[in-house]
Chain A
């Protein structure tokens, strides 16, 4: 089980620039579906990569789904050489995305975000319309049910006149 509050706090406390996407973002927008991991798009600047490394350093990050024992060094060089990482940590599963299909990098996606006060800190969360766009672009069959719910949510949200949350 991923401990979302502690994981999000670890990132915000370290000053990491990141955007919540995926199931946690969907839940924050009102989805009733559950999720097992935290998906974030992180900013790929040297300073931010250093902050990300520090934020997760004490959590034993390791590549998810690879045979145990495979060498993996958690440092800025590894992050700079790669882009997207699916990790296990002592707080649970986290996906770190340098870029996301349909959304691009942090600097592109940040234009489609809404601020959220979560666990005592301010986070950037992808907007509901953009989350729908990302899921559509991913083109995965497994997302069809989630997409139907998100689009219904967008309709309900706008019906309630809470359009302020959607950009």
Chain B
């Protein structure tokens, strides 16, 4: 990102050094992929992930009850 873009993005948001430090670890490739989707498609993905996590939790519980 060039300096101009960064400056525009932060126009109304004062940079916070702690957040800036965390920001270095953000995987922007995932964000860029999401930005190609519509808001509805993004929520569909969230729902899909929720379902997957729920399945995973159920699986772990089942696994724990049948060692």
Contacts and interface: CB of A to CB of B under 8 A. Distances in A.
Contact of A118 (B28, B32, B39): B39
Interface size class of B (residues with CB under 8 A): 35 or more
A24 B43 contact: yes
A28 B35 CA distance: 10
Interface in B12-40: 12-13, 16, 18-20, 22-23, 25-28, 30-32, 34-35, 37, 39-40
Contact of B13 (A29, A117, A154, A159): A154
A64 B27 CA distance: 34
Secondary structure dominating the interface of A: helix
Given A151-B10, A151-B19, 16 more contacts: A4-B46, A4-B50, A30-B31, A30-B34, A30-B37, A32-B34, A116-B39, A117-B40, A119-B40, A144-B18, A144-B22, A147-B16, A149-B26, A152-B31, A157-B35, A162-B35
